[in-house]
Structure 1
Amino acid sequence: MQQMDLPGRPSRRAFLVGTAGFALAGCTPGKPDDSAPSGGFSVRLEGKLGATTLDRLPARVIALGFGQDADAAVALGVVPVAMQEGTSTPERIQPWVAPLLGAARPELIRAGPDRPLERFAALRPDLFLAVGDYYLETGYQRLTGIAPVLGYVTGPNLDPWQDTTRRIGRALGKESLAEQLITGTLAKIAAARDTAGLTGKTFSCSSVSSGGQVYTKNTPEDVLAVSLAQFGLRLSEKVTRLLSTTTKGVAAVGPERLDLLDADIVLISYESVQQRRAFEAEPLFARLPAVRRGAYLAIDKAEAQALAFPSALALAHTAERIVPRLAEAAR
């Protein structure tokens, strides 16, 4: 895996996303929110690039960002007419989103700076959701010529998932349902945290490039580290001392210093099964204390993306699918 290429992000290379290296129960699409207005609708939401003003309830939505945009809309019962494709499954739809789509099949958009503006216009959107759109700044004005755009407040994939859920809920007339979604997700996180007993445990989370280079998260402020912190984990001090590459929050670890990855739990993602087998056979890696005691966990692309692009649905997926494995590894 090359260094940190995130979907839709022009200046970063994949870490836990473009390659293998980095639901709220009872919430189904199509259920109306009791708080949704039946008559007049007027909403104004501030964002970093400008305000979003809506004078009618959006019915046709295009989700441009990876993760939170489509996740929140679908969780709130609004299936986008088009959304950015997922990269963790052959179907190109994230596994926590697919079950909620029913028979709907949104048009899938490839990430990139070249917007298919004519196609967007032909879909007649009432709203673009773009809180996770890494290309929004360069394409914002052109998009607003087609429909209102709900962008981020801080930066793409940087706004807390609770804030994003609330803002998208307001834009879609689903404020009450958004609060229910947040409350239910926080309860699920708390239950998983209390059951797993991970509080205070340290971790490192790394990815291996196609050339064998190891990249590891090195700041607790990173989105992935924040996701795991919600379940009680904290980033190992060994990796927080490492200098970042040109990508903020990511450090390169040479093959002779794999010992720096050791922690209570070691997570690593790979591009392929063959790559994983080869790396796991490396003597320096095999000698890590965490590996020897069974506290090493290989995570797949979907699991890495659920951590790196948190939303209510993705965090529920983490609580249900990943945290039990982390707890087992920590024992």
Structure 2
Amino acid sequence: MARRYRGLGMLVAVLALSIGVVTGCSSPDESTDGGAPIQVNTPKGAVTINGVPKRIVTLGAQWIDVSLAFGVTPVAYLDNIQVLTGSPAPWSRDKLKGSTALSTDDIVSQIAKAKPDLILATGYMAEGQQAMYDSVSKLAPTIPGITGKQIDPWQDMVTFMGTVLRQPDKAKEITDGVNAKIDATKTELPGLDGKTYTMAYMYSGDQIQVLADPEDGANSLFTSLGMSIAPDLVNQFRANHQPRFPVSTENVPLLNSDLLVITANTDQLMSTLQKLPGYQALRSVKSGAVSRMSVAEIGGLNEPTPLSIPYLLDKMHPALQKAAA
């Protein structure tokens, strides 16, 4: 079932489960007890969650982190970051002890063995196979992405989980805590406001994948800091309508911005990038505002979560300081 994808795009499309999009959620009436049913409306039909789920299966890194932020360890999980790198992200791996990592082989039977009472999946999995969705959704109430976007806003996911777990106060605490971290960075580095950034992934010797769509979920953290994607990349997006696209190595000047967040598959590729014509002339490189990420770390930016954001703000802090100067 696993697919091979290139660049930044593969971080949000490793897996395929054809799961519908949530269009509405009805919270329990205040007059009922905490276990009242919750109805979630999706294009596949209404999904009802009876009571507070105890055995949650999470499909995708975002739901894994949201669950862990509530102190809920999924009984089983399918992690697109782990599929790519061989281990969970550094901000979550110590919290997954006792949980079963699912492989992409015969996933339906693996999920069945976990005996879930709720299955949570991310929106991009809706682009997969109808038969797979039909099989998975028969095992337990199955909730796809909650906004219809490829990458759901982490805040919406936290709010949803708080509703499902009947812990709205905890949801607010989690969201407020992450926002406080973001606000502290903005207060410390006011010079970030109005600055530009490039997020890029060199996955081969002649191709660099870039993020270019200002509406992409991966842009949310930088938008919160007052930053925007490099204008030349946005212009390319407006012309080709591709949210993420490859840039050939002779077009390195397209990466020009105040901050460069870069990933390369290997140290050798990173060295190759640094030697390309135009790289040393990039504004971010000249100022030292370059943050090199691992594949797992770029995944945490690509799919922001309440656990990845604080970790990655610390990781990028030296480069953010340079960009803000």
Question: Same fold judged by TM-score > 0.5?
Answer: yes
> Which residue number in structure 2 is paired with residue 121 of structure 1?
112
More helix as a share of residues: 2
Q: 1:185 aligns with which of 173, 178, 183?
A: 178
Change (3 A) 1:63 1:175: same
5+ long unaligned stretches in structure 2:
17-29
Q: 2:256 aligns with which of 244, 247, 262?
A: 262
Q: Secondary structure at the match of 2:278?
A: helix
> Which residue number in structure 1 is paired with residue 230 of structure 2?
236
Task: Give the drift of 1:116.
Answer: 2.1
Change (3 A) 1:173 1:258: same
Cα distance in 2 for residues equivalent to 1:166 and 1:39: 16
Higher relative contact order (CA closer than 8 Å, sequence separation 6+): 1
1:29-80 per-position Cα deviation (integer Å, ceiling 9, x unaligned): xxxxxx9x9864322223343333122221111101x222111111112100
Equivalenced residues, count: 302
Answer yes or no: is the 8 Å Cα contact 2:40–2:48 preserved in 1.
yes
Cα distance in 1 for residues equivalent to 2:158 and 2:135: 25
Cα distance in 2 for residues equivalent to 1:48 and 1:152: 11
> Which residue number in structure 2 is paired with residue 195 of structure 1?
188
> Which residue number in structure 2 is paired with residue 2 of structure 1?
6
Aligned runs of 1:296-307 on 2, under 5 Å? 296-307=290-301
Cα distance in 2 for residues equivalent to 1:309 and 1:115: 25
Task: Give the drift of 1:203.
Answer: 1.1
> Which residue number in structure 2 is paired with residue 206 of structure 1?
200
5+ long unaligned stretches in structure 1:
12-34
Change (3 A) 1:303 1:330: farther
Change (3 A) 1:244 1:273: farther
1:257-307 per-position Cα deviation (integer Å, ceiling 9, x unaligned): 211211111222100111101211223212323322323332222321111
Task: Give the drift of 1:256.
Answer: 2.4
Cα distance in 2 for residues equivalent to 1:245 and 1:176: 44
Cα RMSD (Å): 2.8
Instruction: Report the TM-score, using the length of structure 1 for normalisation.
Output: 0.81
Q: 1:158 aligns with which of 148, 151, 156?
A: 151
Task: Give the drift of 1:127.
Answer: 0.6
Q: Which amino acid aligns with 2:200?
A: S
Answer yes or no: is the 8 Å Cα contact 1:88–1:94 preserved in 2.
no
Q: Which amino acid aligns with 1:116?
A: I
Answer yes or no: is the 8 Å Cα contact 2:11–2:302 preserved in 1.
no
Q: 1:312 aligns with which of 258, 283, 306?
A: 306
Q: 2:245 aligns with which of 246, 251, 254?
A: 251
Cα distance in 1 for residues equivalent to 2:82 and 2:238: 26
Change (3 A) 1:7 1:233: closer
Change (3 A) 1:178 1:39: closer
Change (3 A) 1:47 1:196: farther
Answer yes or no: is the 8 Å Cα contact 2:76–2:100 preserved in 1.
yes
Q: Secondary structure at the match of 1:238?
A: helix
More displaced stretch, 248-257 vs 264-273: 248-257
Quick check: 1:93 aligned with 2:88? yes
1:124-163 per-position Cα deviation (integer Å, ceiling 9, x unaligned): 1111011345156623322221111122233364332111
Task: Give the drift of 1:255.
Answer: 2.4
Task: Give the drift of 1:110.
Answer: 3.3
1:139-191 per-position Cα deviation (integer Å, ceiling 9, x unaligned): 33222211111222333643321111111222223222112111211111111
Quick check: 1:69 aligned with 2:63? yes
Answer yes or no: is the 8 Å Cα contact 2:250–2:277 preserved in 1.
no
Change (3 A) 1:2 1:144: closer
Answer yes or no: is the 8 Å Cα contact 2:197–2:227 preserved in 1.
yes
> Which residue number in structure 1 is paired with residue 24 of structure 2?
none
Cα distance in 1 for residues equivalent to 2:123 and 2:103: 14
Q: Secondary structure at the match of 2:42?
A: coil
Answer yes or no: is the 8 Å Cα contact 1:89–1:95 preserved in 2.
no
Task: Give the drift of 1:233.
Answer: 1.2
Change (3 A) 1:293 1:322: closer
1:82-109 per-position Cα deviation (integer Å, ceiling 9, x unaligned): 11133399661111212434xx331112
Aligned runs of 1:34-73 on 2, under 5 Å? 40-64=35-59, 66-73=60-67
Change (3 A) 1:211 1:105: farther
Cα distance in 2 for residues equivalent to 1:190 and 1:201: 16
Instruction: Report the TM-score, using the length of structure 2 for normalisation.
Output: 0.82
More displaced stretch, 248-257 vs 265-274: 248-257
1:175-221 per-position Cα deviation (integer Å, ceiling 9, x unaligned): 22112111211111111222123111111121112232122222211
Cα distance in 2 for residues equivalent to 1:72 and 1:234: 26
